[in-house]
Amino acid sequence: MDNTEDKTIERRKFLKGGAAIAAGATVALVAGCSSDKEEKKVAAPAVQTRETTTLKVQAAWGGGIFLENAQSYVDRVHAMAGKDLKIDLLPVNSVVKTSQMQDAVHRGVIDGCHYVPAYWYSKSKTASLFGTGPCFGWSSQEVLGWVYYGGGQELFDELMGSLGLNIVSFFNSPMPAQPLGWFKEEIKDASQMNGLKYRTVGLAADVLLEMGMSVVQLPGGEIQPAMKSGLIDAAEFNNPTSDKDFGMQDVSKHYHLGSFHQSQEFFEISFNKGKYDALPQELQAILKYASEAENSNFYWHNTNRYADDLIKLQKENGVNVYRTPDSVMNEQLKAWDIVVDRLNAEDPFFKKVIDSQRAYAERVMGYLNLNQPDYRMAYNHHFG
């Protein structure tokens, strides 16, 4: 065997040996991977699932468009929270009466409620400023701007603290100005309102008392029967849709739109603070931002319905619809001045809130009044 053959044999041995080593390494590697996988399977922690938190929230509405609005807020919470958070929405009087809802949330009897601040202003007349206060030339949209960006939320939280209420609240759904309401005859002058027994709520009651009316505060469902029986002479609730649902067209054919008694209002969604604080931060954020999201939906949805139902009241029910005379609304503004001055003198915190609102309205409405065109001019141009 020559030198060349020796080298060939050695090379074959080397290749066979290398292949064997490689094969062994591959087996070892596969075995190692398999071993790692088995170790990982053993070591992998069990998947933790969060239990669903259920909040029982009572609404101040037994049905109609406002209960739909409350459900719309709940739907937004569910869409964002998935299985982690559920709101059980209860209609009016399910657990407690509307007048007792805030106390029930405070005590934890229910976890939350959907209503308006005017429903509990007997605890503090300052509460009515969060929705049903004097008009500084602004609408509900701008008052909500004050709540979110003008210090309003902080002032509300301060009010809750001063009253010792274990409550967290969010505000949403900017309502159009509420109609002056339903009367037995057309109101052409403010003098016709003197002595009338009239239903309203919140600080509007003080304002209309100042105008010479006799004011009765009743829940929405009791308004129509009270007017039918003669307990009251005139009434307002909120909007054409709700008024139509209550059957106001069956007790009156004279409906006046436009008023400063409640020219801006919105919903309050309140939660027990202990229950809210115990939630994970992401669920707290969902409750808050679902409230903001409902702002736009409410305005688009409700104004569309209100317009349709106003036409039905006129065409199907023979209701005469009027624009409230400027003379009446001027008297309302004067009455507001008297009420606000009196309450400013009685309650420093009331004045603190009023001063904050005035500053915001003067600045923001100063810009908007200069910038906004006269939309009524454009409407009349197209529709007469």
Q: In this structure, how many other beta carbons lie within 10 angstroms of the beta carbon of residue 14? A: 10
Task: Report whether pLDDT(276) > 50.
Answer: yes
Question: What is the pLDDT at residue 14?
Answer: 37
* Residue 58: partners with Cβ closer than 8 Å, 6 or more residues away: 90, 91, 92, 94, 95, 96, 101, 104, 110, 112, 113, 114
Structural domains present in the chain: 53-179+260-369 (3.40.190.170)
Task: Report whether pLDDT(34) > 80.
Answer: no
| pLDDT band, very low/low/confident/very high, at 48 (cuts 50, 70, 90) | low
pTM, entire model: 0.84
Alpha helices for 44-112 (secondary structure H)? 64-81, 101-107
Rounded mean pLDDT, 57-85: 96
Question: What is the pLDDT at residue 49?
Answer: 63
Q: ∠ CA(208), CA(169), CA(302), 5° rounding?
A: 60
User: Position of tokens 């909040």?
Assistant: 55
Q: Could you read off the pLDDT of 261-272 as tens digits, one per residue?
A: 999 999 999 999
Q: Could you read off the pLDDT of 356-378 as tens digits, one per residue?
A: 999 999 999 999 999 999 999 99
Q: Could you read off the pLDDT of 185-227 as tens digits, one per residue?
A: 999 999 999 999 999 988 999 999 999 999 988 878 889 999 9
